Chains A and B, each alone.
Chain A
């Protein structure tokens, strides 16, 4: 703001000192690798004699012509649809109801948080065990109500669903995010609705839910980006199978790079993903900017 001009030079020196580590780190671990990825994607990248044969856009052409890319792309979209349809709204609903509980609210909040303490990889391993067709808990319980048995992770028809199901339990930090957004809805708005004669159920629809619009919007974009990039559930639970039904773009990058050693091709896919994610994130940044103003 009103900085005395005399002090500026000294201040800038400190600024440089404060900023240098970050700039170096971001250049080294973000921008340079990204440029290298772009560079690699134009080559039939040879590990032993980099960079190998120049292909121009050859890798991209190859990808768009290959069946597995479109399968993976389709799977990625299908997963996004499943996650949105089955899991995205769960923490919102949980928070809405949590907001109606006044006694022991703090206890419920911490209980919602607890399952998130299981590291993601551990949770997947656990679910794989629960899905086990021989000794698993899930089929056993479903059998009690006359359902199943299902080959959760080995049936291409339901493998995607099986990967998404664990996220349907919601909970975790997301509930807290929505809950705190709910708490910040001004009391007067709620009171006003009350005076207008809205019953509590209507109030949720007419006042409280709209109050969450912003945060839902922002969370949604972040959610999509995360779904696009999810790798571990498929890697650990199904490895992309059966019949490629859970092979997503991220797995394709991993496979091309570390199994077929086709780094150029892997680079090309990851750049396509980068463009998609960048577009999504732009929207996110725009939204949060709108909101702060």
Chain B
């Protein structure tokens, strides 16, 4: 505004320092987030690489080409079993390697007779069920093939009459194992000696594949209880439900009660009751953790989302802030409406609320942050996976043997998104709310 302000001594150095320090702080505080994102894109092997790498390596798509020339069996079932064995037994053997996709191609007399494709996220999701142990027998695959089919873990294509190979596959076949590709060499050596297949190994080929770059994110959505159907979706859903209902409760109960305190009861009653509500700010969650648990237990609400939500309904800070705001509303306006014959309900919902949008937003956002982040109470109340919130699930993921840090990191990234959206889309509202509460205290 004051463009022709006189340049002061020291203004330049202050400005420079301001920029440097601000940018430095922001950069440093964004590093952990960047590291989280980078780690979330790594595979189960490179996450443990030393020194730690920032750029995730490209997942490898591996093709195994097997020759059936000379074998007599020709039915579809047989080939599917062969393909399933080649895929799942081999991959189980190399389960900690960085394979993004495994394709098994069956050949007979130089023609392609089947093709089976399994992406790594489906392998990871199906592994505990399909190959729990290393019993690589025909019997086992007969039990497991129907599950593989039903869950769609592996995509099978069989060609009764065989088809001619397309260019890329011919090349696969021709080049075979490349010398510098350690992984396919290992796979090749293993398959050469493995005796669970009827066919003989022709070639193993690998190529970097961008298509599987985000597989970790698919894995966490695929990994779930097979019969309870509980997975990340449920945890996210629970967190959203708990958060939304809590916000509604805070706004409804806090808003109406505070309005009553501020405008509908006598000063004496108002002060006393306000004390009644606000004094609970002094009761830390920890002081009442055990009795509160027992209360919820007696209400039969342990292991329910309502058991997590209901205790939130008593939140002294909301009443404190609401009351403070309502006290400052122009009384004349409301009085005028009263004289016009408007009921108190009408006044509250048509006049007070629109006038109080900043405080409603502030409480809403505060409530969102507090509830979305909450950990201890849901940990205590929700013991079944069905009612875990995201934070509780994350904590349990870290001690889950079958989830490497890369998978955990992608869960963290997903858990960050909701607040990120709120922050970016509601920045103005949040700042207005903060400005108000900041002044208020």
Contacts and interface: CB of A to CB of B under 8 A. Distances in A.
A236 B412 CA distance: 14
B10 A200 contact: yes
Contacts of B391: 119-122
A281 to B, nearest CB: 4
Interface residues of B, number: 105
B423 A116 contact: yes
Given A28-B295, A112-B26, A285-B278, A121 B395 contact: yes
Contacts of B49: 135
Interface of A is mostly: helix
Size bracket, chain A contacts: 35 or more
B125 interface: no
B72 interface: no
B83 interface: no
Given A25-B314, A117-B419, A118-B412, A270 B289 contact: yes
B52 interface: yes
Contacts of B285: 229
A126 interface: yes
B277 to A, nearest CB: 6
A117 B17 CA distance: 27
Interface of B is mostly: helix
Contact of A129 (B13, B292, B294, B405): B405
A110 interface: yes
A152 to B, nearest CB: 14
B35 to A, nearest CB: 6
Interface string B269-294: 00001001110111111111111101
Contacts of B39: 129
B37 to A, nearest CB: 11
Interface stretch (B58-66, B183-191, B429-437): B429-437
B360 interface: no
B33 interface: yes
Contact of A136 (B52, B252, B254, B273): B52
B55 interface: no
A118 B264 contact: no
B284 A21 contact: no
Given A100-B15, A118-B33, A270-B284, A111 B376 contact: no
Interface in A244-262: 250, 253-254, 257-258
Interface in B43-102: 47-52
Given A121-B394, A200-B11, A115 B32 contact: yes
A30 B280 contact: yes
A266 interface: yes
B310 A119 contact: no
Interface string A120-132: 1111011111100
Given A28-B314, A30-B280, A123-B32, A37 B290 contact: yes
A40 B290 CA distance: 10
Interface stretch (A11-19, A52-60, A64-72, A81-89): A11-19
A11 B262 CA distance: 13
A98 interface: yes
Nearest to B21: A97
B361 interface: no
B416 A118 contact: yes
A184 B439 contact: yes
A266 B288 CA distance: 10
Interface string A170-193: 110100111011011000000000
A281 B317 CA distance: 12
A37 B287 contact: yes
Contacts of A19: 256-257, 260-261, 265, 273
A274 B375 contact: no
Contacts of A291: 441
A278 B282 CA distance: 5
Contact of B434 (A34, A173, A288): A173
The 3 closest A-B pairs by CB, nearest first: A22-B257, A288-B441, A36-B291
Interface of B: 8-11, 13-15, 17-19, 21-22, 25-26, 28-30, 32-33, 35-36, 39, 47-52, 252-254, 256-257, 259-261, 264-265, 273, 276-278, 280-292, 294-295, 310-311, 313-314, 316, 319, 324, 331, 335, 338, 343-345, 369, 372-373, 375-376, 380, 390-391, 394-395, 398, 405, 408-409, 411-412, 415-420, 422-424, 427, 430-431, 434-435, 437-441
Given A14-B264, A166-B32, A214-B441, 9 more contacts: A14-B344, A36-B288, A126-B35, A129-B405, A180-B438, A270-B287, A277-B282, A281-B282, A291-B441
